[in-house]
Structure 1
Amino acid sequence: MTGGLLRATLTLLTGSVAAHAIPLVLGPALTRTYSPEAFGQFSLLWAVATNLAVVGCARYEFALPLETTEPRAAQLMALCARVLLAVTAASVAVAAVLAAVRGLPLAWTLPLAVLAGGATQWLSLWATRSQRFALLSAARLVQQGGGAVLQLLLGLLKMGPLGLVLGATAGGLGAAWLLARPAPAGGWAGLWRAPWAGLRTLAAQHKDFPLLNTPHAFLGALQDTLTLVLLAAWTGDAAAGLWALALRYLKAPATLVGGALAQALYPNLLKAASPADARRRVRQAQLGLAAVACPLAAVLLVWGPGLFAWAFGAQWAEAGQLARAIAPYIALHFVASPLAVVTMAWGAQGWALRLALVGQCLFFAGLATGLHLGGLVGAGWGVSASMLAYFAYYFWALANWEDMPHESRA
């Protein structure tokens, strides 16, 4: 990594370590406070909320680092705020469907969870634009660490799955409040006074983000949602809870390291001196991530079942078998996760969307085949096997990209 990218990544990583250490340390207490069924219900609701929140601003927030003047950045902030408000309002209808079709008692909390997730992502990009990495680290600590503490406290009050939802939502809202500094030009009230004519012009200029990146992001989040729906329908809420717990803790390193690297890599790539320099930075990121991912996967393959049973209790023993099965997939995801910003920086979102659709098909083919042949653990092995070739091609393509921006590539 270059010096600037390394310093920025380490700054974000410092806060992320503390933020993720708290949920990890509290994990054994949480799994002894909440049942797999409670985790299953929470995870389904949270997956739907994440699915909506990830496109809460129609991905216009990712255009913020591209705006170099404060008035235009303020206009873009106004556009994001109005789109997020609309998506939050629309989530009320989704909540009603969940309550009617799935009989999910937590459905009424969905709009608040969508608002928390969407606002945190939006304001994180606002902080990224001005490279306020220390503030981003603090916000991550509030969101992840504070949310986990609240979940445990609410669990001790016997609030069941509602405690998991309210704790996570409160953590997200707290992080968003922290990130809302400084205000954009004209202040926060000014976002609602911005004329629609100017916002429409700005929206058209950044149309690739809603047209290309929004479907990509939505489909990526939809993968988690549909996975939990499929598991709950096939094997029950407890299996969905086991899957959610395993993925939550196994993807924590990817969220920790990958999230920090992505927030630093995106503006870094925009400043690359040449296409060759940009490719070099991406290759360095890939190698650095792989050096961390491979040992983690080896530990899970050898000791995964025993570690999970020891850490989380006997009722979560099957999650350890699942952890071993999805270890290869987790390693690949660890490397791929922060690289999602590369195609945004290079103007290759159309290519990324097309490839993601292929990846979705492969993922669910492996999941369904594995479920049919070997139940929950079989699903894990099926996903690991089906995604190997996909990620191998993805890494090769980014490392050997010919020119940027590039939307003509098949």
Structure 2
Amino acid sequence: MKKSGSTYNKNILKLLTGTTLAQAIPIAISPILTRLYTPEDFGVLALFIAITTVVGTIANLRYELAIVLPKKEENAVNLVALSILISSVISLLFMLLIIICYEDIIYLIGNDEIGNWLYTIPIAIFFIGIFNALNYYNTRLENFGLIAKVKVLKTLSLSIFQMLFGYLKFGFGGLIGGQLISHIFSNGKLALSLFKNKVLIQKINIKQMIKLAVRYKRFPLITMWASFANTLSQHSITFFLSLIYSTSLLGQYSLIQRILGLPTSLIGRSIGQVFLQKATSEKNIRGNAKKIYVSTLMKLLVISLPIFTIMFFVIEDLIRFVFGEEWGIAGVYAKYLLPLFFLRFLATPLSLINIIFERQKIDLIWQSSLLISTVLIFIFCWLYKLNIYTFFTVYSVIISFNYFIILIVTYQVSKNKTKK
């Protein structure tokens, strides 16, 4: 057991090292980007990312989450193929939707500037779907070193091209173009571990894919909607700020999201990825995953408490100094949102326990309540015309409570004492 714990920490370290470098690159060039692009440009990028992320989350109907579960490698590879096939179909359907409903989509988004870039959204969704499938396949193989390298490659290509396009005065198109190019680089690298095993690839067949689709039907029937609700609740604020306030304010919020979300993307996801694999193993051996759950929660608390405490005292001045006076108001907004991002940091990786124990209904109920809470907040603030400071306060308090609840629930799930 000591060896297993050592491997767990080693795998976290591999991902953490790669992720740290991967996140350090865009953060390092952010002061350059905020001087090459305006808050409005970042606002349009935020809309693009919100749409692609929301749809990209369900691009595989969440079958990619099942890739780590089968005992046979043949089944895992067929799930990869199934995931990629589904993402191809969904991307084509979304392209058709954009062609038919172009004007209506522009009206709903509330932003004309995104214009022709809408047609690149299905391409981004397709890339996200492939990345999700390949990422979980490499997680299954414990190729954490490769995953770490891919994260670095992705952000390095993103940063280089966004800077290049910024100097060429491409406007928000430069930010979106960098996103698309980074997807190409990351997918190519991850695919190597799959295609080098030609014997395994030959075992991919439609009959087996259909059989596995039925076996893991809970993922599209329940998990997909839970994931969609969660992603939509997180990104719906993007659409709300653009519609009710301004694209410029949305750009300021996108900077806040990048900074406060850094611990989650930098550390939380890396821990969560290893947690998924190790908790699955513990569950198969012991019948529960309580020990690894508590251990992971302690790690997250030890890491996050100092980070978010320091942020509260320095973030306002730090943003003004690093990103320029034009972005100073973002530091003021950030203080209102710190509790929310702290609890999200804890809950996000640990909520994967619902997938491991196939408690998709629990996840769906919670994610739905999160989305409903978010929508009700928006309606309340819109009806009473609340200022942005009041909105951020109400939003932070209510959504933080939701994340606190899921921490309690997932702990119970880790003990394997809840019903499916």
TM-score with structure 2 setting the length: 0.90
* 1:261-340 to 2 correspondences below 5 Å: 261-272=271-282, 273-275=285-287, 278-340=289-351
Q: Give 1:146 shift.
A: 2.1
Contact 1:279 1:398 in 2 (8 A): no
Matched, 1:399 2:402: no
Between the aligned partners of 1:262 and 1:187, the Cα distance in structure 2 is 31
Cα deviations across residues 342-382 of structure 1 (Å, max 9, x unaligned)? 11011111111101111222334445556756533332222
Conservation of the 8 A alpha-carbon contact between 2:232 and 2:371: no
Q: Distance in 1 between matches of 2:374 and 2:155?
A: 28
**1:188-267 counterparts in 2 under 5 A?**
194-267=204-277
Contact kept in structure 1, 2:344 and 2:400, CA below 8 Å: no
* Cα drift, residue 239 of structure 1: 1.3
Instruction: Tell me the residue number matched to 1:45.
Output: 48
**Structure 2 SS opposite 1:80:** helix
SS of match in other structure, 1:78:
helix
C-alpha spacing 1:94/1:247, structure 2 compared with 1 (3 Å): farther
1:353-364 mapped onto 2 (5 Å cutoff): 353-364=364-375
Deviation at 1:197, TM superposition (A): 3.0
Q: In structure 2, which of residues 112, 119, 133 is the aligned counterpart of residue 108 of structure 1? A: 119
Q: Any conservation in 1 of the 2:351–2:407 contact (CA below 8 Å)? A: no
Task: State the aligned residue count.
Answer: 405
Once the two structures are aligned, what percentage of the paired residues are identical? Answer: 21
- Whether the 8 Å contact between 1:300 and 1:323 is mirrored in structure 2 is no
Structure 2: how far apart are the matches of 1:73 and 1:170? Answer: 28
Task: Return the alpha-carbon distance in structure 2 between the equivalents of residues 224 and 109 of structure 1.
Answer: 22
**Secondary structure at 2:58 match in 1:** coil
Question: For residues 21 and 224 of structure 2, what CA distance do their matches in structure 1 show?
Answer: 31
In the alignment, residue 80 of structure 2 is paired with which amino acid?
A: M
Equivalent residue letter for 1:83: I
Tell me the distance in 1 between the aligned counterparts of 2:192 and 2:183: 16
CA distance, structure 2, for counterparts of residue 367 and residue 341 of structure 1: 28
**CA separation in 2, counterparts of 1:31 and 1:305?**
16
Considering only aligned residues, what root-mean-square deviation do their CA atoms show, in Å? 2.2
C-alpha displacement of 1:14? 0.6
Counterpart position of 1:74: 77
> Displacement of 1:31 after TM fit?
0.8
In structure 1, how many angstroms separate the alpha carbons of the residues matched to 2:90 and 2:375? 27
Gaps of 5+ in 2: 107-111
Q: Say whether the 8 Å CA contact 1:74–1:186 is kept in structure 2.
A: no
Preserved CA contact (<8 Å) 1:61 1:77: yes
- 2:389 matched to which residue of 1? 377
Distance 1:374 1:299, change over 3 A: farther
Cα shift at 1:406: 4.4
| Residues in 2 aligned to 1:319 and 1:108: alpha-carbon distance in whole angstroms | 31
